[in-house]
Amino acid sequence: MWPYPKVIAHRGGGTLAPENTIAAMQCGLDFGYRAVEFDVMLSMDGVPVLMHDPLFGRTVRGEGGVATTSAARLLEMDAGSWYSESFIGEKVPSYEQVVRFCQQHDIWMNVEIKPVPGFEQETGRVVAQLTQALHVEGAPAPLFSSFSFEALASAQKQAPEIARGLLFDEIPADWLSRLQQLAAVALHCNHKHLSPALAQQIKQAGYGLLCYTVNTPERALEIRNWGVDAFCTDKINLIPADF
């Protein structure tokens, strides 16, 4: 039910590097992680790029947002200086750049499809289409995840062979129906809102179970005892990749 890595670096390098950048992917690799989670959304001209927030201001300075900015401009924007001076000039990467980096280093990818509101179906379709086009024989098979049912459904239609995990903060009562509709393989959720009984229900239904964002070894062990298969962590310096 879970053929993937069990410990995953959140947004590439956790809290040790500017999130969703090539530097973050390298940081995770430097700590022995060969499994990463990152966020993908579309530029104004439909190019997938790594970004968590639809609007600028937190990790990229300036006004505006991803959906109103061309890929050419996005890929020149500084995504590192907010973190520290040592990362000044670290650019917003394209999804293609990150896929090729991960393929080069044999890194498994949990690709979170994170559409700007109103672009759910298009984001799912484009990300799935490009993932198909970039596939290299022998590379680890990625897993798509999203909080957006519509984005995952669109990805499913475009690339049914790529596995899917549906994301929740708080798990709704109809979680099983939603997973079945998407032919998903896993449920991904906030560990703070998971209980042992609910974890058992999910596992007994035959699904993989991934939690975000688990930052202490003690909590990781606790939820593993509940049956959780895998977790993302920001603390890649505290929780080893082979934990």
Q: Which conformational region is residue 70 in: left (phi greater than 0), alpha (psi within -120 to 50 degrees), or beta? A: beta
User: Active-site residue 52, yes or no?
Assistant: yes
**Does residue 191 carry a catalytic annotation?**
no
Which one of the listed residues 10, 135, 188, 193 is annotated catalytic? Answer: 10
State the sign of the Cα–Cα–Cα–Cα dihedral 3, 230, 94, 235: negative
d(CA 219, CA 200): 17
Q: Contact at 8 Å (CB) between 242 and 20?
A: no
CB atoms within 10 A of CB 118: 10
State the distance between the two ends of the chain, measured CA to CA, in whole angstroms: 19
| Residues carrying an active site annotation | 10, 52
